[in-house]
């Protein structure tokens, strides 16, 4: 039971890691190789702001989420939309170049020292029946993850821009004929992906030690979650995150990662479109 609790709570943050990437996969049809670095940017931003302002890292989301949303819109508008006219391969290479630039910039700004957003409830637990317990930090991060996914789902289903994003994902030509600006939609999608990366970075910074070079490992986790859940499926991302989290906890420190990626290989062989993809 404790393994199950820990796996579900871990799966919440794994789902959060994959949400931004599934947005770019499903809508822009772009494999964003800089997604891991965007998450680490969010982790550094939350950690540094919390230290400078003397507040809980969660409060820094008021600043980091809109800031990274704007950065994402600018990146897509000024840079990625232009190279996408030449095909998907140049855009893929641009995101790879961005990942290197961001990683080196973080290294210059913050050195290679380990960082972590320390909070007062870092080791606090809530006792349950028997010997079971709920880690308070993991529970908070899990709640933030669920709230983020819920807000994003409501936005995509209930707002005009959300419907425009889904229409663009289905058929760019038909969406254009209906008056939707595809380039603007792509920019908003990238902004949302960056905003969710800021939230994921908060979770990473609160839960684990991180470095400027940590983006690659989180990119792999996000990629696995997206493939298992189905590209472009927000609910699928949540379920896949829970599957990944349970596999990691059951396998332990030695075999958790191995089991997770064996599941990924099996999924690619049996159902390459993912669990919830059309």
CATH at 22:
1.10.3470
Find all residues with CB under 8 Å of 40, minimum gap 6, and list them. 102, 103, 106, 201, 204, 210, 212, 214, 215, 218
Nearest to 44 by CA among 94, 103, 119, 122: 103
Report yes or no on 37 lying in a domain: yes
Rama region for 118: left / alpha / beta (φ>0; ψ in -120 to 50; rest): beta
pLDDT at 77: 92
pLDDT at 146: 92
Name the domain count of the chain.
1
Report yes or no on 277 lying in a domain: no
Report yes or no on 197 lying in a domain: yes
Report yes or no on 278 lying in a domain: no
Instruction: Please give the share of the chain, as a percent, with pLDDT higher than 90.
Output: 40
Report yes or no on 49 lying in a domain: yes
Query: Is 0.85 topped by the overall pTM?
Result: yes
Asked whether 272 and 228 are in contact (CB, 8 A), the reply is no
Spatial distance between the Cα atoms of 188 and 190, rounded to a whole number of angstroms: 5
Report yes or no on 275 lying in a domain: no
Report yes or no on 276 lying in a domain: no
Report yes or no on 102 lying in a domain: yes
pLDDT at 59: 94
Residue numbers of the domain that contains 123: 2-270
Mapped onto helix, strand or coil, the DSSP state of residue 225 is: helix
Q: Which residues of the chain have pLDDT under 70?
A: 277-278
pLDDT at 190: 92
Find all residues with CB under 8 Å of 150, minimum gap 6, and list them. none
Asked whether 51 and 112 are in contact (CB, 8 A), the reply is no
């Amino acid at each position: 039971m404790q393994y199950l609790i820990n796996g579900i709570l871990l799966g919440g943050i794994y789902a959060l890691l994959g949400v931004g990437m599934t947005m770019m996969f499903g809508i822009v049809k772009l494999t964003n190789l800089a997604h891991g670095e965007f998450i680490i940017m969010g982790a550094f931003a939350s950690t540094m702001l919390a230290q400078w302002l003397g507040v809980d890292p969660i409060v820094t989301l008021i600043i980091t989420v809109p800031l990274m949303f704007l950065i994402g819109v600018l990146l897509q508008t000024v840079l990625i939309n232009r190279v996408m006219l030449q095909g998907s391969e140049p855009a893929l290479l641009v995101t790879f170049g961005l990942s290197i630039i961001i990683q080196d910039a973080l290294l210059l700004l913050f050195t290679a020292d380990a960082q972590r957003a320390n909070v007062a409830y870092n080791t606090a637990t809530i006792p349950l029946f028997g010997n079971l317990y709920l880690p308070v930090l993991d529970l908070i991060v899990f709640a933030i993850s669920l709230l983020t996914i819920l807000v994003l789902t409501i936005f995509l289903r209930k707002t005009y821009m959300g419907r425009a994003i889904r229409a663009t994902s289905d058929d760019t030509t038909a969406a254009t004929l209906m008056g939707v600006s595809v380039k603007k939609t792509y920019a908003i999608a990238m902004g949302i992906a960056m905003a969710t990366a800021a939230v994921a970075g908060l979770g990473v910074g609160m839960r684990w030690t991180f470095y400027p070079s940590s983006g690659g490992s989180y990119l792999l986790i996000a990629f696995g979650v997206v493939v298992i859940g189905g590209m472009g499926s927000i609910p699928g991302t949540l379920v896949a995150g829970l599957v990944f989290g349970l596999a990691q906890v059951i396998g332990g420190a030695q075999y958790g990662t191995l089991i997770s990626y064996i599941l990924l290989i099996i999924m690619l062989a049996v159902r390459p479109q993912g669990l919830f993809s059309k």
